[in-house]
Structure 1
Amino acid sequence: MSLASTKQVVDLHSVKLHRVTLAFVAVMFGGLAVANAAGNVVAKVDPIQAHVLAPWDGRITADAANLSFAMRPDANESSDPAKLAKLALRQDPTTVKALNVLAFQAQLRGDTRRANEIFAYSANLSRRELRPQIWKIESSVARGDIRGALNNYDLALRTSTEANSLLYPVLKVAISEPKIRAALLQLLSKRPKWAPSFLSYLGSSRTNAVAAMHLFIEGGSNLPATNQDRANLVKALISDGKYDDAWNFYRTLHPQADRRMSRDPNFVVEEGLRTPFDWHVPEDAIGFATLLRTRQGGLFEFSMPPATGGAMLKQLEMLPPGIYHLDGQSSGISQPSGSLPYWSLTCLNGNQLGRFNLTNSDVNGGRFSGELKVPAHCNIQVLSLIARSSDEVEGLTGQILHVALRPKEGR
């Protein structure tokens, strides 16, 4: 065999060997990549099993340490959670979850100084990890540093999607303290991105509604709250039985409101802004009943099936004792006298104070009027339009175009 032929064989052998080596390396790293991908997928469901699939991944090891500690909290530095946390930190020194496990273990041992050191280091590593941020909040509270605590609340709420459900309830309780409320108002005036959802949460929550009311009033126009948030807070105050507070706060939305009169005679209040102090359809109303907007303003329209009845329209009142005149106009009502709907004024406890029937709409152009008396010791009343059972095939249908209640002497 010539030298050239020998060299060609050797070169061919080298090429094959190189290809085999590359293939082996590709398979090895491909296998690692597949295992790592599998580990990342499994980590979302079972971090401990994911650690078996990818034992070299520090983040997965930290998740396994976290779960192991959550399943069986153990303060021992040689426990499985501690071993996994330390391994995770050797694999990836920036795994905050592993640091959290070690910090909580230190707390369980009563080693507060060590726990604080670890949490401080953890908080410096990541602003997005919630647990270190909560530690910073608790640390500020322990020092009596209200502003520092609220700044950490702000940071946690801006950087963690989990923070709302944990921190909003705490803030809702904390605003009972005037100093905290004042500091929070300064923060909210800067319009942090979480402010709208927090104010919406406050408005819709019955718990601590009076403190929320003080926050809304003291914040005034500087507070990024919507009118719907304010209307929801009126409802929350009423649900909590704080009727005087609810009325006073309602007047921040409707400064012209007068407790001696009904409100919204032409049904123009927008649906999202209606409160029990406005005309509203009861949730348990039977049949079809709705408040509609029109070019001229609004109206109330109803349609009840035969042989059904009940409240169709309500408004909560806080009328002082006296005699009141109710008048308005209907359209489309045509019933026998025993089936005509009627207006009813009751005390909050259900005792009826007075009632009178509507007339058919072809009588006197549909205009109706009547008198109702409010006695002493009945500070809160409900004015309702009640449907009576009708034997007519089409049931009861009609519209109320406008209605107003006012003191008799003011006619």
Structure 2
Amino acid sequence: MPTQMGPRRTRFPTALGIALIGVGAAWWSFAVTAMQVLKPAYPSIGLLGLVSTEGQAAAAANLATPEATTADRLKGRNMALAVLRREPGNVVAARTLGVIAGAEGRESDFIRWLAYGESLSRRDSATEFALIEERVAAGDVSGALLHYNRAMQVSVDARDTLLPILIPATGDMSVAKGLASFLRRRPLWWPHFVQALNGGGTNPATMRLMLKALHLRLQEPSEAAALGDGLQRMIALGDHDGAFAFYRTFRKAPPSLLRDGDFNRTDSFGPFEWSLNSEGGGSSTLQERTDGSGLALFVSAGDTDTDVAWQTLLLPSRNYQLAGRLVAEAASSPPMTVRIQCAATGIELARLTSVPSDTEGTPLKTQFHVPENCRLSKILISVAAAAEGQAAGWVDDIALTRL
């Protein structure tokens, strides 16, 4: 076990906490405050009279709080040493000695006691948090991430504490590369990480690196949804072309202006494929056409005008033709529309509207121009308000062509 040393420069600024330490771009994000990571409700000092090692270890830790006096720390150190003499495998006592050493500037003892505690158990989150702080202070990205991984592997609560700190740091490529090496092995915490990344990622390039490392499988609905959310985040961050190129590494088909205009895919995912509103009054579902010509999008109305399907498009500035079949269920059916809308301005660029008297499906066409600032656009299928659940008809054979 570590021996005591004279006072040295303190690397544990708040004694019990993971303090905010600036060690270069994005590294401050790894720091954690004392109240976040080491605030268990330890038993009161009255436990000093207990004979159990568990009680004595907890009481010793209670004497190592940020408010502890020098006398308290001395008493806590002696108690923790006594616990370890009786029970050498007590991780709380080992961690307490490390905390006290850090508060007193005995840096080598601080590191060695924490390492000893970790050798006893990797399930003590507070020990892992302290080791994260120590590696951050040393500027060791891979070492800090190793302890992030260990903490999050064994504790869901640790994930809740650490991910909000880790996600902003993933914008740094060195951090992202380090995380990718863990993500390739699909650790237990990866779903929580991806959910947090898709909600708060800041760098599309590092997001692609980390999502690629996971080898997400489109045949698994939850993984396809996670990838789709990641693509949507990249678009929101302004990397439209990068998101589309990454999407195409999963869908190997040649690039096209519109995906699945004939509605034959039943495994669509993400913003570059159809999203369907399949619940509620205004909704859409994929069903077989009565003429045996494959699937089509069948639309039902709600009590308000509703978008029932949509897809993100990347359209260079030029002229196009939009075509499609919008087949009314009956002459009294609510009208359906297919429209293209500029994402930047919300301006409608093109529209097709079903004709209530047309129950045979005469193809509709319209020409339109995409201005420079509307490269990112959306195609939306909607239905007008009507009686809840009233069948509107079906849509099929949507096509976009350059002119």
1:69/1:335 CA distance change after superposition, 3 Å: farther
Note if 1:300 corresponds to 2:297.
Answer: yes
Query: Which structure 2 residue ranges, 5 or more long, are not aligned?
Result: 1-39, 219-223
2:351 equivalent in structure 1: 355
> What amino acid maps onto 1:352 in structure 2?
E
Q: Residue 91 of structure 2: which of 92, 96, 109 is its match?
A: 96
2: CA distance, partners of 1:131 / 1:225: 32
Assess if the C-alpha contact under 8 Å between 2:336 and 2:392 holds in 1: no
Structure 1 residues 238 and 206 mapped into 2: Cα distance closer, same or farther (>3 Å)? farther
Alpha carbons of structure 1 residues 408 and 119: separation in structure 2 relative to 1, 3 Å = closer
Q: Partners of 2:374 and 2:360 in 1: how far apart? A: 34
Contact 2:326/2:353 (8 A) holds in 1: no
55-64 vs 358-367, greater mean Cα deviation: 358-367
Distance in 2, matches of 1:152 and 1:168, equals 13
User: Which residue is 2:258 aligned to?
Assistant: 262
1:122 is aligned, of 113, 117, 133, to: 117
Alignment match, 1:108: 103
Alignment partner, residue 400 of structure 1: 394
Distance 2:295 2:58 in 1: 59
What corresponds to 2:128 in structure 1? 133
Q: Give the Cα separation in 2 of the matches to 1:123 and 1:375.
A: 60
Q: Is the 8 A contact 2:48 2:59 kept in 1?
A: no
> CA–CA distance in 2 between the matches of 1:255 and 1:263?
12
- Tell me, what secondary structure is at the counterpart of 2:126? helix
Q: Structure 1: which 5+ residue stretches go unaligned?
A: 1-44
Q: CA RMSD in A?
A: 3.8
- Of 332, 340, 344, which residue of structure 2 is paired with 1:345? 340
Match of residue 18 from structure 2: none
Which amino acid in 2 is paired with 1:258?
Answer: P
Contact 2:64 2:99 in 1 (8 A): no
Instruction: Name the structure 2 match of 1:376.
Output: 372
Query: Equivalents in 2 of 1:203, 1:335: separation in Å?
Result: 49
Instruction: Name the CA shift for 1:401/1:305 in 2 (closer, same or farther; >3 Å).
Output: closer
Larger Rg over CA atoms: 1
Residues 157-198 of structure 1 show CA distances to partners (whole Å, capped at 9, x for unaligned) of 444454433444555444444444444444444x25337436
Could you list the per-position Cα deviations for residues 87-112 of structure 1 after superposition, in whole angstroms to 9, with x for gaps in the alignment? Answer: 64455343222332332233233333
SS of residue paired to 2:43: helix
Separation in 2, partners of 1:279, 1:208: 26
Give the direction of change, closer, same or farther, for the CA distance of 1:397–1:310 in structure 2 (3 Å limit): same
Q: In 2, Cα distance between the equivalents of 1:56 and 1:50? A: 13
- Structure 1 residues 193 and 352, CA, compared in 2 at 3 Å: closer, same or farther? closer
Residue identity opposite 1:122 in structure 2? G
Determine what percentage of the aligned residue pairs are the same residue.
22
What's the counterpart of residue 198 of structure 2?
204
**Structure number with higher helix proportion:** 1
Preserved contact between residue 332 and residue 361 of structure 1 (Cα < 8 Å): yes
Match of 1:406, SS state, is strand
After superposition, give the CA deviation of every residue in 1:324-376 in whole Å (9 maximum; x if it has no partner). Answer: 22223344533459x52222222112122232321237444354333333223
Q: Secondary structure at the match of 2:392?
A: strand
**Alpha carbons 2:337, 2:383 under 8 Å: kept:** yes
**Which residue number in structure 2 is paired with residue 279 of structure 1?**
274
Give the whole-Å Cα distance in 2 for the aligned partners of 1:100 and 1:55: 20
Question: What letter corresponds to residue 326 of structure 1 in structure 2?
Answer: L
Q: 3-state SS of the aligned residue for 2:372?
A: coil
Tell me, in whole angstroms, the C-alpha distance in 2 between the residues paired with 1:288 and 1:389.
8
1:319 maps to a residue whose letter is L
The match for 2:221 is none
Equivalent position of 2:14 in the other structure: none
1:386 and 2:382 equivalent?
yes
Counterpart amino acid of 1:299?
A
Residue type of the alignment partner of 1:329:
R
For residue 19 of structure 2, what is the aligned residue in structure 1? none
Q: Specify the SS of the correspondent of 1:345.
A: strand
| 3-state SS in 2 of match to 1:253 | coil
Deviation (angstroms), 1:379? 1.8
The answer to whether the 8 Å contact 1:267/1:298 transfers is yes
Counterpart of 1:226, as a letter, is R
Q: TM-score, normalised by structure 1?
A: 0.70
Trace 1:47-196 onto structure 2 (pairs within 5 A). Answer: 47-48=42-43, 55-66=50-61, 69=64, 73-78=67-72, 85=80, 88-89=83-84, 92-189=87-184, 191=185, 193-194=187-188, 196=190
Q: Name the aligned partner's letter for residue 58 of structure 1.
A: T
Cα distance in 2 between the residues matched to 1:53 and 1:249: 60
- Report the secondary structure of 2:380's partner residue: strand
Deviation digits for residues 46-104 of structure 1 (CA, Å, limit 9, x no counterpart): 6527975992221233234445655x642524257667645644553432223323322
